[in-house]
Amino acid sequence: MRKFSFMISTKEALKLVLKTADLYKPDSVRVNIENAIGQKLSENIIAKCNSPSFTQSAMDGYAFRLKDIRTNKPIKFANLENSAGIYNVKKIQPFTACRIFTGAKLPLNADVVIPQELVQLTNENLLIFDRNKIKYLDNIRLAGSQFKKGDVILKKGDKINAPRVALAASGGHAQLKIYKSPSVSILVTGNELIEPGKKISGDKTYESNSLMLKAILNELNIPVNQIFKSDDVKTDIVQKINLAFNNSNVLLISGGISVGKYDLVSGILKKLRFETIFYKVKQKPGKPLYFGIKGNRFIFGLPGNPAASLTCFYEYVIPFISKLNGNITPTHLTKKARLKNSYEKKKGLTHFLKGKIVNDSAFILPNQESYKLTSFAEANCLIIVPDHITKLKPGDEINYHEI
């Protein structure tokens, strides 16, 4: 895979993120069938029985022998019945019929079921119906007509949904072997950070990135194994990275990824022998974005500024984890709208702007700086301003991603 040690475009960055996701080798785990929803099978599912397991009625009605119907002789109601789970009538006598209900086992010599609404029962217990419209095996479900024992009923890679749960269960399976969902841990770095709720001093900042990232991952039903916090100390950061990968495939590091004196992460990852897929993207916010790999472990180094971190998360981390989960359709489709206000910038960087879509019109929100979350709290999209564009005016068509 081509790797980059220089700043790359947003399109190239996303392309590399998605290509790298193909290298992921998921573990398999056997789970109870009700816990497999949304997961992908890691093996074929083989039917343990026929379905239906016995020949049964598809309707509420009467079970007959077709050869009796083909005569002109009267057919009597035997005043017996089979219902679902209760098999009273093993065979019917010549020129008689028994009552039968949907899902009930068919008498061995019956080969036609006539719905009850098409049959009249006389006072003499005779059954009257139109004999000319009856066909062999009418309203009968043959044993094994859905699938037979030994058939492959679900294939490796199939994503489990409600109908597939029912299909596997009807094939006799109480557990399924699935690909284990990728697990994520979060590491937040910074001497200046303190937990919300503690008394704040003049040189400290409340830490919010871990809560923000965990909240989005929870919304996406992606498990967060652990959240680690570290000062800007190399040994502490190394220890937390190693701990995170004890039970996670993906680590999101927030902060310490730029080029300042206390931005230690990129150098640490190099010493830990992570391959740098790219470091720095031609974008604003979030230029100092890092993405690396080591075996089956993946790291995103996200900027510490909250809005920059969240932008990178939406644009790169979500598509990456979505692909790890086996989703082949894009997680954020590019949509178009007409801009209602104006914007100016220099050439060279793609800008992702917090925006709001209202009735197919796009509004660029105020407070676009990378440390400000106030606009993100109101936004429902990221408006994309390509690197070569310097000016947007009202009425211009823009591209955006929903968030």
| pLDDT (0 to 100) of residue 137 | 98
* Higher pLDDT pick, 68 / 189: 68
Looking at residue 259, what is its pLDDT? 58
Instruction: Give the model's pLDDT for residue 375.
Output: 93
Model confidence pLDDT, tens digit, residues 345-396: 999 999 999 999 999 999 999 999 888 889 999 999 999 999 999 999 999 9
Averaged over 210-222, what is the pLDDT? 90
Q: Give dist(CA 403, CA 399) in Å, integer.
A: 13
CA distances (Å), origin 341, targets 19, 311, 364: 36, 21, 7
Pairing type for strands 283-284 and 350-358 reads: parallel
State the average pLDDT over residues 169-182: 95
Q: Is residue 302 predicted with pLDDT exceeding 60? A: yes
**pLDDT tier, 221 (very low <50, low <70, confident <90, very high otherwise):** confident
pLDDT on residue 202: 76
What separation in angstroms does the CA of 35 have from each of 40, 46, 216, 218? 12, 19, 21, 17
Residue range 158-176: average pLDDT?
A: 97
**What are the angstrom distances between the C-alpha of 4 and each of 53, 279, 291, 297, 349?**
59, 7, 10, 19, 17
Q: Is 241 helix (H, G, I), strand (E, B) or coil?
A: helix
Query: How far apart, in Å, are the Cα atoms of 79 and each of 24, 58, 93?
Result: 64, 20, 12
pLDDT in tens, 17-29: 999 999 999 989 9
Rounded CA separation 248/246 (Å): 6
- 94-124 per-position pLDDT tens digit: 999 999 999 999 999 999 999 999 999 999 9
Amino acid at residue number 286: G
Of the candidates 271, 327, 324, the one whose C-alpha atom is nearest the C-alpha of residue 294 is 271
| Residue whose pair of structure tokens reads 């190099």 in the numeric block | 270
Q: In the chain, what are the domains?
A: 10-27+181-324 (3.40.980.10), 28-51+146-179 (3.90.105.10), 56-141 (2.170.190.11), 334-402 (2.40.340.10)
Q: Which of 252-266, 328-342, 371-385 has the highest mean pLDDT?
A: 371-385
Query: Is 199 exposed, middle or buried, given 0-12, 13-18 or 19+ CB atoms closer than 10 A?
Result: exposed
57 — pLDDT class (breaks 50, 70, 90): very high
The mean of the pLDDT values for the chain is 93
